Amino acid sequence: MRPHSRQPYTAPGRQIWAWGVGAIANHALICTYGQATAIFTIGFSLNASLVAWAIMLPRLIDGITDPLLGHISDNANTRWGRRKPFLVLGSVLGAVFLSLLWWADRSWSATAQLVYLFLFGVLFYTAWGLFAMSWNAIGYELTDDYHERSKVSAIGTLFLQIVLLGNAWVYWLALRPLFEHGVVNTFNDLLAAGFDWEKLKAVGHAAFVAAPGSPTNEINGIRWIAGFVGVLAIASASVTVLVCKERFSHLNTAVKKKRVPMLPALKTTLKNKAFMNLMFIKVFQTLGDRTAGGILVFLGVYYVCLGDKSLAFKITGIGSTIGTLWGFGMIPLIKPISRWIGKKGGLLLATGGSLGAALTLPFAYNPAHPYLMLLPALLTIMLIGIGNTISQAIMPDICDVDEIITGQRREGLFTAVMSFVQKIEISLCALLVGYMVVWSGLDTTQAAQPEHVLNRLYWLAIIPYILFSGGAFIMALRFPLTEKIMAEVCAQLDARHQAAGIETIPEPDKKS
């Protein structure tokens, strides 16, 4: 038996990085699905409010099932562990359903296209929810150390930033002439060029440089892109499955007599003050970011860039690229930030920065200077990384506090409840954005829009962003957990595990 004064456990670096690689699957799947609002509204030319309903309802349905799936995973007892079967199933099915999502036919009626989007949205969200819940739960087990949890979360954020870097260019890439001409046709052109360098350059130029006013085919483009993302997601998920080890698969079995049914477990979860506080922070952030972000897509295209989609999404891509690179520079500072100002301070930094970004919008969205749109994007992307990293690092602290109360490891249920709330609010945001676009009178089939339409879009983007960002900052001020509290919690848990003879270090990682 280990001495009571042992150092907090931290998994080997290869396991932490393997878990981080799984973030590619987690974020690439959902970020690519997130292109649906713009693709189906602009590319398929469907009504924005109806697209919003078709995207909202799958999230709502999946959100309702999330807590049940999390509870099942927490109490699963398979030869492969509690999480890995869900990781495999979720990543494979998520990749398949994401690839099929975009195969509606524009020749179908609008109703048929929307029903198709809804049905495959339900299938996709169910599969992705399985994976996301399991992947997050494994991450919570990687270390018991208060500050190392910030470092582990930062590694996950590193891969999130990589995904955001690529996702910012997805719509722009889908608009390339390559997809109008045809990928297979372009490949045949490359073969025909042989080893003639000038011809090869000409084919490449024709594939990726769009002449002003040239025809585009973003629908064909997103089909190819989604297929690639699906393959990438399965590969990255496989790294997590093969390398990471679960620590607490046996703990809930050891305390089986204390196991409680789903509804009482959910009730106990919602009584956790720190969890509820963190959840409200994320609710306000999501309401601000998603509502404003959804409107800003249209505002950037039609107000700032005067209907030039290519320019608008190029600027968005540049901003995300620079902001992501900036975010990379922040990642090594996450653990020092945690030590310097604490996780609560990190939350205040992130929410305060988002509020600052919201306040820059009236100055940044200026048709005379379209590249000023980069200003809030740069600040927001960097702070999204900080906020997500700190929030991820706080979740295992909350699970530790919960184990003191319940005697159970319920990472899956906490992750699923958080996911449930976020999916509902994201769904409501998508619906709200759709109706805002309709209320403004925007006609996405026309490049030029009346001035009164653009003015409505302008204020509908700015006001919610400022209000909800301010709400997130106020909730961050009220966050209760501190490093001192968590040190006491971890000491109590270690003593409890030793008294019960429960080992929480995987066999290959034990030290004599």
Confirm whether 507 is domain-assigned. no
Burial class (CB in 10 A: 0-12, 13-18, 19+), 60: middle
Confirm whether 223 is domain-assigned. yes
Is a pLDDT exceeding 50 seen at residue 53?
A: yes
Cβ neighbours of residue 204 under 8 Å, at least 6 residues apart?
none
Give how far Cα 381 sits from Cα of 212, 232, 328, Å: 29, 23, 11
Contact 51, 37 (CB under 8 A): yes
Q: What is the CATH number of the domain that holds 334?
A: 1.20.1250.20
- CB hemisphere CA count around 469 (13 angstroms): 28
Q: Which of 76-90, 95-109, 154-168, 208-222 has the highest mean pLDDT?
A: 95-109
Cα four-point dihedral sign 269, 271, 274, 280: positive
Give the separation between CA 223 and CA 228, rounded to whole angstroms: 9
pLDDT of residue 30: 92
Confirm whether 254 is domain-assigned. no
Contact 370, 315 (CB under 8 A): yes
Give how far Cα 310 sits from Cα of 306, 316, 360, 379, 499, Å: 11, 10, 24, 23, 64
Confirm whether 206 is domain-assigned. no
pLDDT of residue 256: 46
pLDDT of residue 300: 81
Confirm whether 509 is domain-assigned. no
Question: What value does the CA radius of gyration of the chain take, rounded to a whole number of Å?
Answer: 24
Give the separation between CA 249 and CA 247, rounded to whole angstroms: 6
Give the separation between CA 355 and CA 346, rounded to whole angstroms: 14
> 170: which 2 tokens?
């997805």
**Kind and range of the H or E element at 198?**
helix 197-208
- What's the pTM? 0.68
Between 149 and 250, residue with greater pLDDT: 149
Burial class (CB in 10 A: 0-12, 13-18, 19+), 368: exposed
Is a pLDDT exceeding 70 seen at residue 426?
A: yes
* pLDDT band, very low/low/confident/very high, at 88 (cuts 50, 70, 90): very high
Contact 181, 207 (CB under 8 A): yes
- CB hemisphere CA count around 264 (13 angstroms): 5
Contact 322, 460 (CB under 8 A): no
- Name the region of 306 (left: φ>0; alpha: ψ -120 to 50; beta: rest): left
Is a pLDDT exceeding 50 seen at residue 2?
A: no
The string of pLDDT tens digits covering residues 153-171 is 888 888 887 888 888 889 8
What 482-489 contacts at long range (C-beta under 8 Å, 24+ apart), as own/partner pairs, is 482/342, 482/344, 483/146, 483/147, 483/342, 483/343, 486/146, 486/397, 486/400, 487/146, 489/397, 489/400, 489/401, 489/404
pLDDT of residue 469: 87
User: Interhelix angle for 374-406 vs 262-270, to 10°?
Assistant: 120
Count the domains in the chain.
1
Q: Which of 178-182, 301-305, 398-402, 499-503 has the lowest average pLDDT?
A: 499-503
The neighbouring-strand residues paired with 143 are 10
User: Interhelix angle for 183-193 vs 197-208, to 10°?
Assistant: 160
Give the separation between CA 140 and CA 402, rounded to whole angstroms: 13
Q: What percent of the chain has pLDDT over 70?
A: 86
Helices (H) and strands (E) in the chain, counts: 20, 0
Q: Which of 16-25, 263-272, 484-493 has the lowest average pLDDT?
A: 263-272
Nearest CA to 272 among 69, 143, 411, 470?
Answer: 411
Q: Phi, psi (5° rounding) for residue 343?
A: -70, -35
Give how far Cα 379 sits from Cα of 60, 140, 323, 414, Å: 30, 28, 7, 30
Is a pLDDT exceeding 70 seen at residue 246?
A: yes
pLDDT of residue 66: 67
Confirm whether 368 is domain-assigned. yes
Cα four-point dihedral sign 402, 407, 410, 411: positive
Q: Phi, psi (5° rounding) for residue 504?
A: -115, 15
* pLDDT band, very low/low/confident/very high, at 116 (cuts 50, 70, 90): very high
Confirm whether 113 is domain-assigned. yes
Burial class (CB in 10 A: 0-12, 13-18, 19+), 295: buried
Confirm whether 1 is domain-assigned. no
Give the separation between CA 407 and CA 409, rounded to whole angstroms: 7
User: Interhelix angle for 110-140 vs 48-74, to 10°?
Assistant: 30
Cβ neighbours of residue 408 under 8 Å, at least 6 residues apart?
74, 251, 252, 255, 258, 259, 260, 265, 402
* pLDDT band, very low/low/confident/very high, at 15 (cuts 50, 70, 90): very high
Contact 386, 340 (CB under 8 A): no
Q: What percent of the chain has pLDDT over 90?
A: 17
Q: Which of 118-132, 174-188, 249-263, 278-292 has the highest mean pLDDT?
A: 118-132
Domain, as residue range, for 428: 13-175+216-245+262-500
Between 251 and 496, residue with greater pLDDT: 496
Is a pLDDT exceeding 60 seen at residue 259?
A: no
